[in-house]
Structure 1
Amino acid sequence: MKIPGVPPAELSELNRVQDRISFVYLERCVIHRDSNAITATDEKGVVHMPAATLSVLMLGPGTSITQQAMMLIADNGATVVWVGEHGVRYYAHGRTLARSSRLLVAQATAVSHRDRRLQVARAMYRMRFPGEDTSRLTMQQLRGKEGARVRRCYREHALRTGVAWNNREYDPDDFTGSDPVNQALSAAHACLYGVVHAVIVAIGASPGLGFVHTGHERSFVYDIADLYKAEITIPVAFDVVAGESTDISADTRRAVRNRVHDGALLNRCVQDIRNLLLTDSTAGPIDHELLDEDAGTDVVRLWDDEGYELAGSRNHSADVDF
């Protein structure tokens, strides 16, 4: 029987996550579908956005979205984030673009094995200190070294922009209760978390299986986002406040969007996640093109306790004696 409605796009027809727009923020509008485009309608008119080019669609206050629009977004592997005032809440995500569970299995294996988890965590810290030998440092020493790096980053940008800085203080339930630079940091980090979360989901990894962070549904999101804060969100936040913004949350979102508009962050995020999860001390370089082909293979196999996999979608009763 033919299923009614517009059929979903084939995986080969979709844009890879690293080739997409990082995020689009919408508020006070109605989101619908027009063929293969997402439309946003308000009193100013209608804007069309090709669904296959979206990575994250952030829906702020006053938005409503139709079922047809959500179907199109899901079929194209994009992430929808319903956000509260100032864009600092995350409520939902879309389905993976990957058809293979290779990354997810590698992630679960690594996070469940103490030595492999330590290896990945060390690699994450090593990325913050290029050219330095951190191989002999304990996790406690690495955390201390990272804390000192972040504090130094805050001081440097405060000096560069002339923005007063005391420390990082904020209440997740009271955005306006903190000073302007802390508000800008919260808004900038929220955008970064949305982009990173979308990438993690799109390539088939788990947002909750973290290596440095743990115990939270977005632990891995925080792990990966921390790799880019000093380069992207911290300087953006200080620049926005130095520009005497009168709408910090909106101006910060636009500034982050401008900072990552060329797609380099998406590509870098994909490569970093794959390198962290699929590389060990004995493996060679990763063939990312081969991995893309593997991720697009829609094949289900059966696990066997002898350590190999069997073909799925067939009856195996003739293979064994009862």
Structure 2
Amino acid sequence: MDDLSPSALKAILHSKRANMYYLEYCRVMQKDGRVLYLTEAFSGKHHAENQYFNIPIANTTVLLLGNGTSITQAAMRMLSQAGVLVGFAGGGGTPLHMACDVEWFTPQSEYRPTEYLQGWMQFWFDDNKRLIAAKQFQQSRIQFLQQVWQRNRDLKQEGFNVSDHAILNALNTFHTRTSQALKQSDLLLTEAQLTKTLYKYAANKTQLTNFTRQHQSQDKANDFLNHGNYLAYGLAASCLWVLGIPHGFAVMHGKTRRGALVFDVADLIKDAIVLPWAFVCAKENATEQEFRQQVLQAFTDNKVLDFMFDTVKQVALQDYSKDQIEAQNL
């Protein structure tokens, strides 16, 4: 069998690439046409043996490098050619030290598709059209939440039920205020109010009293929320890079904030998956690794990347004619 070139590996559909790897205390390198990481294993007293482990770059979306890691130029070249996003993080995957506002080390290529960027540009410079796109993102995130919570047996057992009176009221209010919003700041306020309600609901279901969302807090629920959000940012960054849409063309988080579209796309899945599992894993006193595995498995089970791709493509390629806009404003 002929050896695969790194460029040939990109033939695997990115929408099916769900693997994320977090490495620490190792050296990532290229050896014999493969990307490996080298670590030391001690056998007996003070005797160290080098151990090599293969990284399957053809089926990897994000590689996070934590404490005590280094990477060679040759390995970065192969990862870039295979379309793998690389970021440097602290212990346990957070905080994200080198990602340029979650824009990562996105390898640039002249072979990105153009139709989605062209579709995005046809509405982005128009305030009304951009507001319509933002509303669609908001409605899609709620539909996804309802879908995930409705069919996930484990979340149901933990008490997460979209038919609960508190959730129904919150979602009804969200839908009403979203449809009536006149500017992005109205949407952000409505989003913040819903998320606050979901935090309270999740804390009650998992008996985590006195929970307060703090990004710098050291309690497990907040740590897991931060950790899971970073994983969601990695998926969002991968989705946008594959479709060729620059991360700066946001519809929700501000027109001039670099990388803000990554946050918009990540928000599609955070409430549905990251939020409930952060609280459930905190209640169970799970480790960082156990939480990560739970969230990554939930991403795979719910086809999160496919959902991101479908939503972004729909927004980019839909009809933004005058008649269509008037119909959506009714």
With normalisation by structure 1, the TM-score equals: 0.75
Deviations 1:150-185 (A, max 9, x none): 1221122112211224321223xxxxx443321221
Answering whether residue 13 of structure 2 is matched by residue 16 of structure 1, we say: yes
Alignment of 1:134-173 (within 5 A): 134-139=178-183, 140-171=185-216
2:281 pairs with 1:240 = yes
Tell me: CA distance 1:165–1:280, structure 2 relative to 1, closer, same or farther (3 Å): farther
> 2 CA distance for matches of 1:138 and 1:213?
15
Q: Deviations over 1:6-56 (max 9, x none)?
A: 965248x52111111341111111112244532122124222122211111
Flag the 1:61–1:113 CA change in 2: closer, same or farther, 3 A: same
- How far has the Cα of 1:256 moved from its partner? 2.1
- For residues 135 and 30 of structure 2, what CA distance do their matches in structure 1 show? 45
Instruction: Give me the whole-angstrom Cα distance separating, in 2, the residues matched to 1:223 and 1:238.
Output: 22
Tell me, in whole angstroms, the C-alpha distance in 2 between the residues paired with 1:164 and 1:255: 23
Matching residue of 1:94: 106
- The alpha carbon displacement at 1:274 in A equals 0.9
Flag the 1:40–1:263 CA change in 2: closer, same or farther, 3 A.
farther
Match of 1:266 in 2: 305
- Segments of structure 1 that go 5 or more residues without pairing to the other structure are 1-5, 172-176, 284-322
Work out the CA distance in 2 between the residues paired with 1:216 and 1:282: 27
Mapped pair 1:60 → 2:66: yes
Q: Where do residues 1-150 of structure 1 align in structure 2 (5 Å cutoff)?
A: 8-10=6-8, 14-44=11-41, 45-86=51-92, 87-89=94-96, 90-91=98-99, 92-95=104-107, 98-130=111-143, 132=175, 134-139=178-183, 140-150=185-195
Q: Secondary structure at the match of 2:181?
A: coil
CA distance in 2, matches of 1:109, 1:85: 42
Mapping of residues 143-292 of structure 1, within 5 Å: 143-171=188-216, 177-214=217-254, 215-245=256-286, 247-248=287-288, 250-262=289-301, 264-281=303-320
Corresponding position of 1:310: none
Query: Residues 110 and 88 from structure 1, CA distance in 2 versus in 1: closer, same or farther, beyond 3 angstroms?
Result: farther
Q: Partner letter of residue 60 of structure 2? A: L
Question: Which deviates the most, 203-212 or 128-137?
Answer: 128-137
By how many angstroms is 1:145 displaced? 3.1
Note the C-alpha offset of 1:203: 2.3
Aligned-pair Cα RMSD in Å: 2.6
**Paired amino acid for 2:306:** N
SS at match of 1:260: helix
The 8 Å contact of residues 21 and 263 in structure 1, kept in 2 or not, is answered as no
TM-score by structure 2 length? 0.73
Aligned residues: 270
Unaligned runs of 5+ in 2: 42-50, 144-171, 323-330
Contact conserved, 1:61 with 1:83, CA < 8 A, in 2? yes
